[in-house]
Structure 1
Amino acid sequence: MAVKIPQELQEFMKGKQGWVATSSKAGVPNVSIKGSLRLLDDEHLVFADLFSMKTRKNLSENPVAAIMVFEEASKRGYMFKGATEQIGSGPLYDQTAEAIHKAMPQLPAPKYVVKVTVESIWNQSSGPDGGKQIA
């Protein structure tokens, strides 16, 4: 079940990259940085797959992910966990592909985009609240 991403965290997400953790069916982990990570709405995140064969394979076998966003200057960080959907065509794919092309025209079109339904949010900041569930 989706949770609402608090407004403060929606603002925090802007312009940041995310580290996406996935796991194969057998439990073999993988982490991949995603510069295309963005907030889709108050319950979903989205990122593009350009070159991530392990991410793609893992999400095909086990469609859940954890996404970590961290800001070095403030030592604030948050982890978003949720179910994923791989999208290879349609409006969300087209919108994401166009944004990537505008930002970095030398990159290929995404193989697909991943829509993440956020099911829980965890504080990963330095300090006494680190590790606590937010939503």
Structure 2
Amino acid sequence: MQNLTKEMRTMIEEQFPFLATVDKDGYPKIGPKGSLHVLDSQHLIYYEHTFRHAYSNISANGRVAVAVADRQAQKGFRFEGLAHLHEDDEITERFLPKQILERFNRGAVVIIDIHSVYKLDNTLEAGTRII
């Protein structure tokens, strides 16, 4: 696993990321993850509170992709990896904001190990693996 670049970290923090999973029948599911951010140079993190598609799919098969793009710059990245769910454990205690529990009465932490990164630029390099 290699480290995220400053450009990748900035894009995740400044743009709106979308998480993709696959259900048990092989159908893709994608949705925005407003809480998704960089945990460290090799991991992403977000807070799960709906406990629907993404939660079920990650529980069954931890493979995920996160896409983030800057529309104006026509540049972006797709991060692929393995997601790990944490509920009622020390990871949840450490990272889950109290506001999530106050608002939704339940929350989980999802940590994504980044295995590969691809360009989503509007160039001939689109889809090129860069990490």
**Same fold by TM-score greater than 0.5:** yes
* Equivalent position of 1:85 in the other structure: 84
Summarize the Cα distance change of 1:105–1:27 in structure 2 as closer, same or farther, 3 Å threshold. closer
Q: Deviations over 1:34-82 (max 9, x none)?
A: 0001000000001111214011111111111000011112111100000
DSSP 3-state at the match of 2:123: coil
- After the TM superposition, which residues 48-67 of structure 1 pair with which residues of structure 2 at under 5 Å, given as runs? 48-67=47-66
Name the CA distance, whole Å, in 2 between partners of 1:105 and 1:130.
39
* Equivalent position of 1:68 in the other structure: 67
Name the % identity: 21
Quick one: which amino acid aligns to residue 87 of structure 1?
H
- After the TM superposition, which residues 1-135 of structure 1 pair with which residues of structure 2 at under 5 Å, given as runs? 2-98=1-97, 101=99, 107-108=103-104, 111-135=107-131
TM-score, structure 2 length as denominator? 0.87
Summarize the Cα distance change of 1:108–1:73 in structure 2 as closer, same or farther, 3 Å threshold. same
DSSP 3-state at the match of 1:14: helix
Name the CA distance, whole Å, in 2 between partners of 1:131 and 1:120.
12
Deviation at 1:83, TM superposition (A): 0.6
Question: What is the aligned-residue RMSD (CA, Å)?
Answer: 2.1
